[in-house]
Every structure is written in structure tokens, then in C-alpha cells.
């Protein structure tokens, strides 16, 4: 039954059976409200990630933290945001995120939701990641004793240590 249904649909799409296509359309018109309802459901987007990041401002840093209960380290924050708000699974550590095959983004092409990477203070290795939120700013979980906050890429420290960005989401 399913195979014949699939053949009718395929034939209709390729114009090989116009009458089958017409009867298919007439037979399944009653499902239109159902498909409309599905389209009305909110779809996960990168905007959800950015909005949720703003809601987490002030939450504590916690080394190894990946949850609201624990607090967040820098990479744990991004893992949490992408998974819970956009159903996107990204690597757990900053280094693994940076090594990933996700698209590398130039600084002048940053879009909200891009992951921005920084060298560790005085090191050549990547040691920190944040979430770009637009207007030259990013949200991150900085270090022990600090809370999730917004900083500017133009800040002397961040500008000096900025390395690159990655895009783990589809372009809008």
C-alpha cells in the first residue's frame, strides 16, 4: 500500500500521471489544516540561542559546568545553548569546537550565533569561546568567580586575543 502511494506521489511530481496527481490533491485536501498547524509550531532557530544566552546573564561560571544547576564554563555554555535552543550538537570543549569542520567565519562576516574564539592569556593556544550576539558584542562565561556577561570584541584584551569564529548553524 505504501509503495503504491509513494509511486502515485512520485508520478504526480514528475507529471507522468496528471490524473493521479489531481486525485491525490483532491483526496488529501482535508489534511491541509494539519500541515498548517505543523508549520505554525515554533521551529528552533539561532535567534532562540541568542535570546536564551541573554536570559543567562549573571549565572555563575563553573569549571566543567554544562547546566543551569551546575553553572557553565565557556564551552559548556555554548553546548547547552545550541542543544537546548536549536537542537544542534556541538563539540564539548573549546579546542574541539575550534578544530571542528564547522565553517570558519571572518571577523567582518560575523552573525549572531557564531562562536568566537580567543587565545588563552599569554598563550598561542585557543583557550576561550563565546557567543557572538551582534553589534560587536559576545556573551560568555569568563572564569572562576565571574558570571556570564556581555563583552565587546573591541575591548583591548579581547581584540588582542581574538583568533577566529565558527558557525555551527545554517545561515539565515
Cell readout for 165 is 569564529
- Catalytic-labelled residue, pool 7, 54, 74, 98: 74
Question: How many CA atoms are closer than 13 Å to the CA of 1, on its beta-carbon side?
Answer: 0
SS3 32: helix
98 part of the active site: no
Pick the catalytic residue from 7, 98, 128, 169: 128
Cβ atoms 106, 163 nearer than 8 A: no
CA pair distance 30, 128, nearest whole angstrom: 53
Q: Is 169 a catalytic residue?
A: no
Check if the beta carbon of residue 129 is closer than 8 Å to that of residue 80.
Answer: no
Q: Which residue in 7, 54, 98, 140 is the catalytic one?
A: 140
140 is annotated as an active-site residue: yes
Residues noted as catalytic: 74, 128, 140
Amino acid at each position: 500500500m505504501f509503495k503504491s502511494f509513494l509511486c502515485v506521489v512520485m508520478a504526480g511530481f514528475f507529471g507522468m500521471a496528471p490524473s493521479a496527481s489531481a486525485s491525490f490533491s483532491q483526496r488529501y485536501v482535508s489534511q491541509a489544516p494539519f500541515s498548517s498547524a505543523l508549520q505554525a509550531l515554533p521551529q528552533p532557530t539561532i535567534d532562540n540561542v541568542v535570546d536564551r544566552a541573554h536570559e543567562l546573564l549573571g549565572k555563575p561560571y563553573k569549571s566543567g559546568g554544562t547546566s543551569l544547576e551546575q553553572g557553565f564554563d565557556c564551552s559548556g555554555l555554548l553546548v547547552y545553548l545550541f542543544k537546548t535552543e536549536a537542537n544542534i550538537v556541538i563539540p564539548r570543549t573549546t579546542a574541539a569546537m575550534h578544530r571542528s569542520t564547522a565553517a570558519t567565519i571572518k571577523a567582518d562576516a560575523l552573525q549572531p550565533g557564531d562562536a568566537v574564539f580567543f587565545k588563552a592569556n599569554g598563550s598561542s593556544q585557543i583557550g576561550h569561546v563565546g557567543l557572538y550576539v551582534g553589534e560587536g558584542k559576545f556573551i560568555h562565561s569568563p572564569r572562576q568567580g565571574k558570571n556570564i556577561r556581555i563583552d565587546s570584541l573591541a575591548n583591548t584584551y579581547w581584540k588582542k586575543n581574538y583568533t577566529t569564529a565558527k558557525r555551527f548553524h545554517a545561515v539565515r
